[in-house]
């Protein structure tokens, strides 16, 4: 592709101009959240940088919709279909969240991202003593099928594609949704949506785990196997580098740890006897979209290429759909600031642009006030409008992979892939991701990266506008969402009514059947579907699983 004499001419001209040493004062404080590739950035890129890396157009870049998918997983990308515009919502009660969902759908939102409160994420009922003070605060409480019914009231499941952000009790929430679809008469083959179901990143970065790693992996695999056989349109897993990055990882760690988790899941499902091409096309991912525009866009391009090679070369997948890296993206919430929160409008716009230029399939934009509280209707609407303006007014969707061929972006893409590959290989040498978690090594890597990132901010080495530079006096009050303290008591009362009205003998029989199944190697999802139909609660169900699987106590990380 590159003429050697012309490349040599470019090198000599660049050296003569001193381009490799040029640096202006405007670069002070620049850099992307401690990301590895950002620290090696040169001031100027030319064809020589690609030639030196052995860049081959057809092998490394190719065409959109074709292996290795660097330029996108669909031939026409957004020219044919825009990314799915999602907004993350869940607070108060199921009915309150339902009202927010319907409001956002009226505003043009195309997909629902369901946020569950912390007790639900841990498998506790709202009246459990351990849930006190957390019910409905950072998500919606879903204690039973009755709450699921309220959550989707007047929302036809055939017309929505919800993303359920749940992990430890992912199989239970999926079972409730399947039972709800049966109530609406929706055949399983028409049910679409996704379940996050990525438990390994909870051990590494987020903490809402309950059971030990191996039984947790069993539950993940049960969901994947069930969906592969029964729900052909359901995305049964959403592997999340997002939470690694929010915990303080570098960009390269975000990529490598998430893909190492994905490798673990793929191996576990294949070990069940499910052929790779029978489930790989429904694998999905979710990653952060940060403010460093070019690094973030290059990250998505690198992951597509890396995943395609992993699936084809490591796991022997033969179907092109199995090689395609389908990913959502979300605004880097940890980049939002409580000081001068209006600046977050600019940050979220850059997050969105990075994800779009990177070729993401869906996008959640954070509201500018989320560093202060849950978003108001006004702020969440503005977040959605940000996506709509970018989609319809900027021309950014008119061209497939508009950054393709940029000397800088292609060099970044290569570097991110190379560094992430090296880190994945390091995890493999340590015995795989389960061993890296149980030893505490993976958690320590992110803790160290988070400490370094905070050090750079506090020293001023990394500039955060409005926080450590360009600081202003803050106003005394702001309009923010206020949590209703009555929610917890209302949920406790609703649970008492549920237990009084349901057939408790039927519930006990279902929980006994679940206990027996959990102690065997039976796929638990069909059992859970029958269990939730009795209106057994998530706390009762997870209590049975705790008794069988035990609870995990993490390695201390400093």
pTM: 0.93
The yes-or-no verdict on residue 396 having pLDDT over 90 is: yes
Of 7-16, 77-86, 318-327, minimum mean pLDDT range: 7-16
Average pLDDT, the chain: 92
**E-only strand ranges, 243-388:** 283-289, 327-331, 362-364
The yes-or-no verdict on residue 7 having pLDDT over 60 is: yes
Q: What is the pLDDT of residue 35?
A: 44
Average pLDDT over residues 260-285: 97
Q: How far apart are CA 535 and CA 175, in angstroms?
A: 12
The yes-or-no verdict on residue 38 having pLDDT over 80 is: no
pLDDT over 90, % of the chain: 81
Over the stretch 168-219, which tens digit does the pLDDT of each residue have?
999 999 999 999 999 999 999 999 999 999 999 999 999 999 999 999 999 9
The yes-or-no verdict on residue 14 having pLDDT over 90 is: no
26: pLDDT confidence band, cut at 50, 70 and 90? low
Q: What is the pLDDT of residue 33?
A: 46
Q: How far apart are CA 257 and CA 159, in angstroms?
A: 34
55 vs 149, higher pLDDT: 149
Q: What angle do CA 183, 188, 194 make, to 5 degrees?
A: 100
Give the DSSP letter string of 368-429.
TTTTTSSPPHHHHHHHHHHHHHHHHHS-TTSSSSTTTT-HHHHHHHHHHHHHHHHHHHHHHH
Give the DSSP letter string of 125-194.
-TTSGGGTTTTTSSSB---SHHHHHHHTTT--GGG---EEE--TTHHHHHHHHHHHHHHTT--GGG--EE
Find residue 289's DSSP bridge partners: 331
Q: What is the pLDDT of residue 555?
A: 72
Q: What is the pLDDT of residue 307?
A: 98
- SS3 call for 106: helix
Contact 117, 137 (CB under 8 A): yes
CATH number for the region 83-459 comes to: 3.20.20.240
Q: What is the pLDDT of residue 34?
A: 42
Q: What is the pLDDT of residue 473?
A: 86
Q: What is the pLDDT of residue 482?
A: 72
Which residue, among 371, 366, 372, 361, has the nearest Cα to 384 in the 3D structure?
Answer: 366
**In the numeric block, which tokens belong to residue 539?**
């706390």
Over the stretch 109-134, which tens digit does the pLDDT of each residue have?
888 889 999 999 999 999 999 999 99
Treating both helix axes as pointing N-terminal to C-terminal, what angle do 524-533 and 213-230 enclose, rounded to 10 degrees?
80
**Residue 524 CB-density burial (10 A; 0-12 exposed, 13-18 middle, 19+ buried):** buried
Highest mean pLDDT among 50-64, 148-162, 316-330: 316-330
Contact 284, 238 (CB under 8 A): yes
Helix locations, 502-537, DSSP H: 504-518, 524-533
DSSP conformation class of 462: S
Q: How far apart are CA 129 and CA 553, in angstroms?
A: 20
Q: Domain coordinates of the chain in residue numbers? A: 83-459
Average pLDDT over residues 80-98: 91
Residues 6+ apart with CB under 8 A from 147: 94, 140, 141
Over the stretch 428-478, which tens digit does the pLDDT of each residue have?
999 999 999 999 999 999 999 999 999 999 999 999 999 999 999 877 677
- SS3 call for 436: helix
Q: What is the pLDDT of residue 9?
A: 76
Token pair 């379940």: residue: 195
The yes-or-no verdict on residue 30 having pLDDT over 90 is: no
């Amino acid at each position: 592709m590159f003429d050697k004499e012309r490349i040599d001419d470019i090198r000599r001209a660049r050296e003569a101009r001193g381009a490799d040493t040029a640096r202006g004062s405007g670069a002070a404080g620049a850099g992307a959240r401690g990301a590895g590739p950002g620290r090696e950035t040169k001031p100027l890129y030319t064809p020589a940088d690609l030639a030196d890396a052995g860049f081959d157009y057809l092998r490394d870049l190719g065409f959109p919709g074709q292996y290795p998918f660097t330029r996108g997983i669909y031939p026409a990308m957004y020219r044919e279909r825009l990314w799915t515009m999602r907004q993350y919502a869940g607070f108060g009660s199921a009915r309150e969240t339902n009202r927010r969902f319907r409001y956002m759908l009226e505003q043009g939102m195309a997909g629902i991202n369901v946020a569950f409160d912390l007790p639900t994420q841990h498998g506790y009922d709202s009246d459990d003593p351990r849930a006190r003070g957390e019910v409905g605060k950072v998500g919606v409480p879903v204690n039973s099928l009755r709450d699921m019914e309220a959550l989707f009231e007047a929302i036809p499941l055939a017309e929505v594609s919800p993303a359920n952000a749940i992990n430890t009790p992912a199989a239970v929430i999926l079972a409730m949704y399947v039972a709800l679809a049966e109530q609406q008469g929706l055949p399983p083959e028409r049910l679409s949506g996704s379940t996050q179901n990525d438990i390994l990143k909870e051990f590494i970065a987020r903490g809402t785990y309950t059971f030990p790693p191996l039984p947790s992996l069993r539950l993940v695999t049960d969901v994947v196997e069930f969906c592969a056989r029964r729900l052909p349109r359901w995305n049964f897993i959403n592997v999340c580098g997002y939470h690694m990055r929010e915990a303080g990882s570098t960009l390269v760690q975000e990529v490598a740890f998430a893909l190492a988790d994905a490798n673990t899941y793929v191996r576990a499902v294949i070990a069940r006897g499910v052929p790779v091409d029978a489930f790989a096309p429904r694998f999905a991912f979710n990653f952060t979209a940060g403010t460093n525009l070019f690094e973030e866009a290059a990250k998505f391009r690198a992951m597509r290429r890396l995943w395609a090679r992993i699936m084809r070369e490591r796991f022997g997948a033969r179907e092109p759909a199995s090689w395609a890296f389908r990913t959502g993206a979300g605004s880097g919430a940890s980049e939002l600031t409580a000081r001068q929160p209006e600046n977050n409008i600019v940050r979220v716009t850059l997050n969105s642009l990075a994800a779009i230029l990177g070729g993401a399939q869906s996008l959640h934009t954070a509201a500018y006030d989320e560093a202060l509280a849950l978003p108001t209707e006004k702020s969440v609407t503005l977040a959605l409008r940000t996506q709509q303006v970018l989609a319809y007014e900027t021309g950014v969707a008119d061209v497939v992979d508009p950054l393709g061929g940029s000397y800088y972006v292609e060099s970044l893409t290569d570097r991110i892939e190379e560094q992430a590959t090296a880190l994945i290989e390091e995890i493999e040498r340590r015995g795989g991701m389960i061993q890296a978690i149980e030893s505490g090594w993976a958690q320590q890597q992110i803790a160290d990266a988070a400490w370094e990132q905070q050090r750079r901010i506090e020293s001023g080495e990394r500039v955060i506008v409005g926080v450590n530079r360009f600081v202003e006096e803050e106003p005394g009050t702001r309009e923010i969402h206020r949590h209703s303290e009555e929610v917890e008591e209302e949920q406790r009362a609703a649970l008492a009514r549920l237990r009084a009205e349901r057939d408790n003998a039927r519930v006990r029989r279902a929980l006994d059947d679940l206990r027996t199944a959990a102690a065997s190697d039976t796929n638990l999802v069909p059992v859970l579907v029958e269990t939730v139909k009795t209106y057994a609660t998530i706390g009762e169900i997870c209590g049975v699983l705790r008794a069988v699987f035990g609870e995990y106590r993490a390695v201390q990380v400093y």
